[in-house]
């Protein structure tokens, strides 16, 4: 049956080993890895509409982990989300700027890594209770989660 597998497809033994490793890993470690991949993907996609989905997903994970994961780690994730949101709005503005105008360019987001550094930080941002905000007018640079 190994002939049915394409290149890069793990064997059953490799899959079992990955499952054992994941079962033994602390949940916070798994969250760090997932958040780190989402942050990196969002950073690569800055300026594209699908970057917003990835950034909002990171914020949702941080909100779900609030009170159950390390506060300093969640603070770093919150800071990275804020920086990515600002960079996304800036990149979208640059993409919409008429030719010949000079918009600011976004630089890579510092602190996009979700690895804990042990520094104090505030709680991670998340959506507030209540009805969702109305969509801004077309061309608005306001961040609206889920848009």
Choose the most confident range, by mean pLDDT, from 39-43, 89-93, 124-128, 134-138: 39-43
Contact status, residue 83 vs residue 76, Cβ threshold 8 Å: no
Domain span at residue 35 reads 24-97+104-128
* 41-96 pLDDT per residue, tens: 999 999 999 999 999 999 999 999 999 999 999 999 999 999 999 999 999 888 77
Cα gap 15→99, rounded to integer Å? 51
pLDDT on residue 4:
63
> Which of the four pLDDT bands, split at 50, 70 and 90, describes residue 136?
very low
Whether residue 37 lies inside any domain: the answer is yes
More confident call, 103 vs 61:
61
Q: Which pair of tokens denotes residue 53?
A: 């989905």
d(Cα 14, Cα 140) in Å, to the nearest integer?
A: 48
Whole-number Å distance between alpha carbons of 137 and 98: 19
Confirm whether 62 is domain-assigned: yes
Residue 57 lies in a domain: yes
The pTM for the full model equals 0.60
87 within some domain: yes
pLDDT score recorded for residue 95:
76
Does residue 7 sit within a domain?
Answer: no
44 found inside a domain:
yes
Question: Could you tell me if residue 34 is inside a domain?
Answer: yes
CA 147, 35, 6: angle at the middle one, nearest 5?
A: 100
Note whether residue 1 is domain-resident: no
Domain count, the chain: 1
């Amino acid at each position: 049956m190994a002939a049915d597998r394409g290149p890069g497809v793990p064997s059953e033994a490799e899959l079992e080993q990955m499952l054992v490793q994941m079962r033994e890993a602390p949940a916070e470690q798994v969250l760090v890895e997932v958040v780190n991949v989402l942050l990196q993907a969002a950073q690569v996609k800055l300026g594209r509409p699908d970057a917003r989905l990835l950034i909002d997903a990171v914020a949702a994970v941080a909100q779900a982990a609030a009170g159950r994961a390390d506060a300093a780690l969640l603070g770093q994730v919150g800071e990275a989300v804020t920086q990515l949101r600002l960079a996304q709005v800036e990149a979208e503005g640059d993409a919409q700027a008429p030719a010949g105008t000079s918009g600011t360019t976004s630089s890579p987001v510092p602190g996009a890594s979700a690895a804990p550094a042990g520094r104090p930080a505030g709680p991670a941002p998340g959506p507030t209770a209540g009805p969702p905000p109305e969509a801004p007018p077309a061309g608005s640079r306001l961040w609206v989660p889920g848009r």
